[in-house]
Amino acid sequence: SQQGEEDPQALSIQEGENATMNCSYKTSINNLQWYRQNSGRGLVHLILIRSNEREKHSGRLRVTLDTSKKSSSLLITASRAADTASYFCATGSGSARQLTFGSGTQLTVLP
Q: How far is the CB of 107 from other proteins (least distance, A)?
A: 16
**CB of 24 or CB of 31, closer to other proteins:** 31
Three-state SS letters, 74-85: EEECCCCHHHCE
Indicate which single residue of 70, 88, 105, 107 sits in contact with other proteins (rule: CB under 8 A): 88
Q: Which residues pair with 34 in a beta bridge?
A: 47, 89
Q: How far apart are CA 80 and CA 14, in angstroms?
A: 8
| 61 near other proteins (CB under 8 A) | no
Single out the segment in contact with other proteins by CB under 8 A; choices: 20-28, 32-40, 61-69, 71-79. 32-40
Confirm if 4 and 24 have CB atoms less than 8 A apart.
Answer: yes
Q: How many CB atoms lie within 10 A of CB 86?
A: 19
User: Which spans of this chain sit near other proteins (rule: CB under 8 A)?
Assistant: 1-2, 30-31, 33, 35, 40-45, 48, 88, 90, 92, 96-104
